[in-house]
Amino acid sequence: MGKLDGKVALVTGSGRGIGQAIAMKLASEGARLVINDLDAEPAHETVELLKKSGAEAVACVGSVAAPDFAERYIKTAVDSFKGIDIIVNNAGFTWDDVIQRMSDEQWYAIIDCHMTAPFRILRAAYPVIKVQAQADTERGVEVFRKVVNISSTSALNGNAGQMNYSSAKAGVIGMTRALSREWGRFRVNVNAVAFGLIHTRMTSADAKAGATINIEGKDIRVGLNPELLKSHAQRNPLGRGGTPEEAAGAVYLFCLPESNYITGQTIAVAGSPQ
């Protein structure tokens, strides 16, 4: 018996990287997963990994920023598993530049992915959460459900070249605090984790080499200067950046029954005080 046995967990951006690590961690404690990725191949690969580990999982492929995605995602969870227990708003990417060179397209792409998409997903989940909470009350049981939003230390400290990303991730913290007050009556804990440097394909690539990823037809530069990575490691008390598994562990903490009396909080997962 795992601590999340039978729980239904929705994790956006879980085809690879941190999202996949979160999905695998929740599944290891018994959760059933609704996987999402922008691309079909990584989403289905993660589903197969989960099934091989003995977990139940389904995929809902597509951009979280699409206007119809939220309703489709929630419907996938309800149709497949009859409810919702955990929502992790993880999907995201960066599209950096200094303010004088940042286009409206760059601004809105990041705001839509990191703020509008979680808002729509949580709004779409509301009727399901409300009905489940009412059913719990009628049965005389207290069941806590969890929302974990992903923020960033860029929201806490700011980061040059990330006006869009820092702003969006700061908005996620405000969203977390507001919803914790709205959904407390439903016994939903709403918290956020603010990641520092976590080594993924987006951060580990060599920016000098011109590494890119394709997001909905656009080649977007990713990666960090190797000298910057070295400097970060030297300044970090733990001497390095984090792993996707360590990032997933922080999300997992907010999904446990032990966090039932914690809500509206943001913790930095950065290997250093913020």
pLDDT tens for 205-217 read 555 556 677 777 7
Per-residue confidence in pLDDT tens, the chain, 274 aa = 899 999 999 999 999 999 999 999 999 999 999 999 999 999 999 999 999 999 999 999 999 999 999 999 999 999 999 999 999 999 999 999 999 999 999 999 999 999 999 999 999 999 999 999 999 999 999 999 999 999 999 999 999 999 999 999 999 999 999 999 999 999 999 999 999 999 987 776 555 556 677 777 777 777 667 777 788 888 899 999 999 999 999 999 999 999 999 999 999 999 998 8
In degrees, rounded to 5, the angle at the alpha carbon of residue 183 between the alpha carbons of residues 68 and 66 is: 15
State the catalytic residue, choosing from 73, 165, 252, 261.
165
CB burial class (10 A; 0-12, 13-18, 19+) of residue 103?
exposed
Residue 108 is a catalytic residue: no
- Residues 134 and 175: their CA atoms lie apart, in Å, by 24
User: What does the pLDDT read at residue 4?
Assistant: 98
Sequence-separated (6 or more) residues with CB below 8 Å from residue 21: 243, 244, 245, 247, 248
Return d(Cα 247, Cα 105) in angstroms, integer.
Answer: 29
Residues 17, 244 contacting (CB under 8 angstroms)? yes
Q: What is the pLDDT of residue 232?
A: 80
Question: How far is residue 114's CA from residue 108's CA, in Å, rounded to a whole number?
Answer: 10
Contacts of 168 (CB under 8 A, 6+ apart): 110, 111, 113, 114, 115
pLDDT computed for residue 87 by the predictor: 99
Closest CA to 131 of 188, 190, 69: 188
CATH class of the domain at 8-269: alpha beta
Q: Which two tokens stand for residue 144?
A: 């806590």
**What residues contact 163, with CB distance under 8 A and at least 6 apart?**
98, 99, 102, 107
